[in-house]
Amino acid sequence: MEKIRIGTRASRLALWQANFVAQKLSENFPVEIVKIQTTGDKILDAPLAKIGGKGLFTKEIEVALAAGKIDLAVHSLKDVPSELPAGFEIAAITQRENPFDAFVSNKFDSLEEIPSGGVIGTSSLRRAAQILNLRPDLRIENLRGNVETRLKKLDAGNFDAVILAAAGLERLGYGARIKKILTEIIPAAGQGALAIEIRAGDTEIADAVKILHDEKTCAAVKFERDFLRKIGGGCQVPVGVFADKNSARAVIASPDGKKILRDSTDNLDGETFAEKMLANGGSEILRSFEV
């Protein structure tokens, strides 16, 4: 092939991810990075759950992929819906980096230190619900934008703390700003890994990206995405799931954190685990609110 065209969002984090993939592929092929603006990049004044959830960051890129304007797309796997539209497939999943959320604050070293009434910034229902369950006396305010924008809003004094994906902060060189890794907050399915999406059946590109694939990560995130698919949610419902080695844990919550179900398993079948949690109260929680 003449060259591989890599489609990506234009944020600094997305470009870091695309360049990471490009560097690996450039050992064998000429590459070109194509920047594409998505709906999620355009609408920054509303929570993700209110404007459509995960497909917001992939739809326009998939349109370009289907039209042959790019040969593959690089996504944060946590932004990819658990069911892809017809005509696409995930050809590779990279080795996972830090899968957890990070606590970032200029005033406090942990969630526990924030005084009652403190303001936490996040656009994620999953993060908000789990934080409110732990600290119902705190206030959650919507925080959208790229990593730099969110940090600037924190630095401007708009929030006492913000919650961001640790992997994104570390990739961009902001690891020193992390005050604490929130292992008690169960992350989003696929968090910390990158997905390489291609046109279904494009064997040439599929073969080219095999060097990016990490089978151990793939097994873990398959569990998580199977779980999420069975639950039937994405950004629109407060659900977290994390699988590692021989165990997994998950959470289903109401947006206000008042109703919450946590469970763990050593049976690495995501659908079976989801069915168990739905039967044990998860369905009732999901029915108790409308998004």
Catalytic-role residue among 41, 71, 79, 160: 79
Chain segment 138-164, per-residue pLDDT in tens: 999 999 889 999 999 999 999 999 999
Q: What is the pLDDT of residue 39?
A: 64
- Provide the terminal-to-terminal Cα distance of the chain, rounded to the nearest Å: 46
Is residue 127 helix, strand or coil? helix
Domain 4-96+193-213 has CATH 1.10.760.10: no
CA distance 21 to 64: 18
May I ask the CATH class of domain 229-287? Answer: alpha beta
Domain 101-182: which topology? D-Maltodextrin-Binding Protein; domain 2 (3.40.190)
- Is position 79 annotated as part of the catalytic site? yes
Give just the sign of the alpha carbon dihedral 279, 284, 189, 258.
negative
Start-end of CATH 3.40.190.10 domains in the chain: 4-96+193-213, 101-182
Do 129 and 238 contact (CB within 8 A), yes or no?
Answer: yes
**What does pTM read for this prediction?**
0.90
Chain segment 54-88, per-residue pLDDT in tens: 556 788 999 999 999 999 999 999 989 889 999 99
**How would you class 115 by CB atoms within 10 Å of its CB: exposed for 0-12, middle for 13-18, buried for 19 or more?**
exposed
Tokens 């759950």: give the residue: 49
Residues 6+ apart with CB under 8 A from 279: none
Do 147 and 172 contact (CB within 8 A), yes or no?
Answer: yes
